[in-house]
Structure 1
Amino acid sequence: MQAIKQFFKTHPHAWWGFYLPVYLAAFFIIEHFITDNYWATQTVLDSYVPFCEWFIFPYVSWSPLLVVLGVYLILKDGEGFRRYMWYIMVTFTTAVVFCILIPNGQDLRPAVMEHHNLAAWLVEYTYSIDTNTNVFPSVHVVGAIGAAWAVKKTPSLERRTLLRGATAILALLICLSTLFIKQHAVLDVIGGLGLALAVGLPLYHHGIIRRSRPAMEQE
């Protein structure tokens, strides 16, 4: 217990991470209550996107990516973690509020898996724990773009060109995976991209939250 207290004393920005259980609680509550009578987000564009179960692997890499990046920023870049959490809090909360105000979902999931393999099993498991509702805007898209942006803007990673490139490619694959495993419609991805840009540009490109404590980067 003393070690935990000492950690938060030396890394006070870590408290921002407690937004995540609040978000998860809100998300699973609306998942429970919003199950039908929703705005269906699929359009004719989705008929041109084939189903491919192998995209489940970049899809499930989303949570580890966000968590690992968050832990790194907590330990190495306190100011960067605050900005990362501002992005997460604003975008994720906006997505939840939108889903409450305008219940939405998509009807694109295949009724039967054509293939029987590990990827198909993972898709079916994902379907079982995550409904086809509350999909607009895509939080997977929002989070993936935010992670890539945070890595790009982290000073201690400036010379890690390979890592930054790999993160950007993974973020792109995650965005595409939402379409190919039929977890999201094209419109959901466009909405996620729009939300990511609306919040990310002021935070990361225009520097609305500036680095006022450079020493924190070496924590």
Structure 2
Amino acid sequence: MKKLKEFLTANRHFFILLYYFVILFGYQLLNKYTVPKYYMYHPIDRYIPFVPIMVVPYVFWYILITASLIYLGFTCKKDFYRLALFMFGGMTLCYIIFILFPNGQNLRPVITETNIFTTIITFIYTLDNPTNSAPSMHVIDTMAVYIALRKNEKLSKIKILQTTSAIVTILIIMSTVMIKQHSILDVMYGLLMSLVLYIMIYRIPYHKFKFAAKKEAQQQV
């Protein structure tokens, strides 16, 4: 019990992941009750083929997210917090957008083939209604991991890892439209939100604001 207590104390930052249950509850609620008023479609969508095998990188997303959070949680708390803020902050913003701008898509094909890939896609379609698609949370979380791995001091020096990360990121983003879970518009909005989150989390020097506030307080004294 003592060792368990010490472990939990040393790794209490992992408790932030409990917010995932709030995210999951919100997802289930919106997935069940959202009635789309706006449908995402761009002429480019008609030229994007339905490629069942692309469900592999789509599903690999879950492994990538989990592995990245665990690794950074045990090796770099700063990067862990930034990744968690990027992901959870992004998904929370998405839920607000879904409420204010209830949307969906009508791109899913009638699946006639029967193989392992189409079976998985059919299962995904069953669990996930074609609603709340823009912006794509799949894209946002993928970009969150990609940026976190690039910004990590240790991992940024491993070129093969960075190259692999870039390829996996591209494949996951491509998979969202190639298994017809998203419109190209969803991807674009997801990338745009990722850019905003990146600037807010990684580029704004908040420490300078703290320093300025501290300096001003000292001058007042």
Runs of at least 5 residues in structure 1 that lack an aligned partner in the other structure: 211-219
CA drift of 1:206 comes to 4.6
Return closer, same or farther for 1:45/1:18 CA change in 2, 3 Å cut-off.
same
| Partner SS, residue 155 of structure 1 | coil
Specify the code of the residue in structure 1 equivalent to 2:9.
K
What corresponds to 2:18 in structure 1? 18
Q: Percent identity?
A: 29
What corresponds to 1:74 in structure 2? 73
Specify the code of the residue in structure 2 equivalent to 1:47.
R
| 2:140 pairs with 1:142 | yes
CA drift of 1:80 comes to 0.9
Return closer, same or farther for 1:207/1:156 CA change in 2, 3 Å cut-off.
farther
Specify the code of the residue in structure 2 equivalent to 1:167.
S
CA drift of 1:12 comes to 2.7
CA drift of 1:85 comes to 1.1
CA drift of 1:3 comes to 4.5
Contact in 2 for aligned 1:23/1:92 (Cα 8 Å): yes
CA drift of 1:63 comes to 1.1
How many positions carry a matched residue from both structures? 208
> How does the TM-score come out when normalised to structure 2?
0.88
Specify the code of the residue in structure 2 equivalent to 1:172.
I
Specify the code of the residue in structure 2 equivalent to 1:83.
R
CA drift of 1:177 comes to 0.4
Q: Distance in 2 between matches of 1:207 and 1:92?
A: 23
| Partner SS, residue 57 of structure 1 | helix
Q: Distance in 2 between matches of 1:180 and 1:208?
A: 39
Return closer, same or farther for 1:82/1:158 CA change in 2, 3 Å cut-off.
same
Q: Distance in 1 between matches of 2:86 and 2:202?
A: 9
| 2:80 pairs with 1:86 | no
| Structure ID, larger Rg | 2
CA drift of 1:38 comes to 2.7
Kindly report which structure 2 residues correspond to 1:18-167, keeping only aligned pairs within 5 A, or say none. Answer: 18-34=18-34, 36-113=35-112, 115-167=113-165
Return closer, same or farther for 1:93/1:209 CA change in 2, 3 Å cut-off.
farther
Contact in 2 for aligned 1:39/1:103 (Cα 8 Å): yes
CA drift of 1:8 comes to 2.6
Contact in 2 for aligned 1:149/1:204 (Cα 8 Å): no
Structure with the higher helix share, 1 or 2? 2
Q: Distance in 2 between matches of 1:39 and 1:74?
A: 39
CA drift of 1:200 comes to 1.1
Contact in 2 for aligned 1:8/1:15 (Cα 8 Å): no
What corresponds to 1:196 in structure 2? 194
Specify the code of the residue in structure 2 equivalent to 1:96.
Y
> How does the TM-score come out when normalised to structure 1?
0.89
Output one character per residue of 1:91-139: Cα deviation in whole Å (capped at 9) or x when no partner. 11000111011111000001233x3211111111111111110101000
State which drifts further: 151-160 or 56-65. Answer: 151-160
Q: Distance in 2 between matches of 1:22 and 1:207?
A: 29
Q: Distance in 2 between matches of 1:107 and 1:84?
A: 32
Contact in 1 for aligned 2:50/2:178 (Cα 8 Å): yes
Runs of at least 5 residues in structure 2 that lack an aligned partner in the other structure: 209-221
Return closer, same or farther for 1:195/1:4 CA change in 2, 3 Å cut-off.
farther
Q: CA RMSD in A?
A: 1.7
Return closer, same or farther for 1:116/1:88 CA change in 2, 3 Å cut-off.
same
